[in-house]
């Protein structure tokens, strides 16, 4: 059995590079009424490996290796824009993405209030 550690390390590194791209970290933009929303996501990665070889009683030889990698993705909030205004809605550390969805009714209420003001001034 021949060990190809450099090849394995290259394949894992390439995989990790493709997973940590802008779409993964920031997410795809979507619209909610007059607001444009971009999810912001935290990406964490880890990698570990090891290998070795040895002999026993000058007759048996052995070698082995192992490697592993992990990727964690966590939503942290949304960038929200309207015209030239921008704000960040934090997802919350204890509630995760659910906290953002709890704020959506307020966001829709603000959209409705803005429309009423615009109609009153028109």
Cβ neighbours, 10 Å, residue 37: 19
Residues 97, 100, 105, 106, Cα dihedral to 10°:
170
24-77 tens-digit pLDDT: 666 788 888 888 888 888 878 787 878 888 888 777 888 887 877 777 877 788
pLDDT for 1 equals 46
């Amino acid at each position: 059995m021949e060990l190809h550690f450099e090849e394995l390390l290259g394949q894992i590194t390439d995989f990790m590079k493709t997973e940590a791209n802008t779409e993964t970290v920031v997410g795809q933009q979507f619209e909610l009424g007059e607001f444009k929303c971009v999810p912001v996501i935290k990406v964490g990665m880890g990698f570990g490996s090891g290998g070795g070889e040895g002999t026993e009683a000058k007759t048996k030889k052995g070698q082995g290796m192992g490697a592993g990698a992990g990727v964690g993705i966590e939503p942290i909030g949304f960038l929200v824009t309207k015209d030239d205004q921008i704000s960040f809605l934090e997802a919350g550390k204890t509630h995760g993405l659910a906290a953002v969805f709890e704020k959506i009714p307020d966001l829709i209420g603000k959209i409705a209030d803005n429309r009423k003001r615009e109609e009153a001034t028109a």
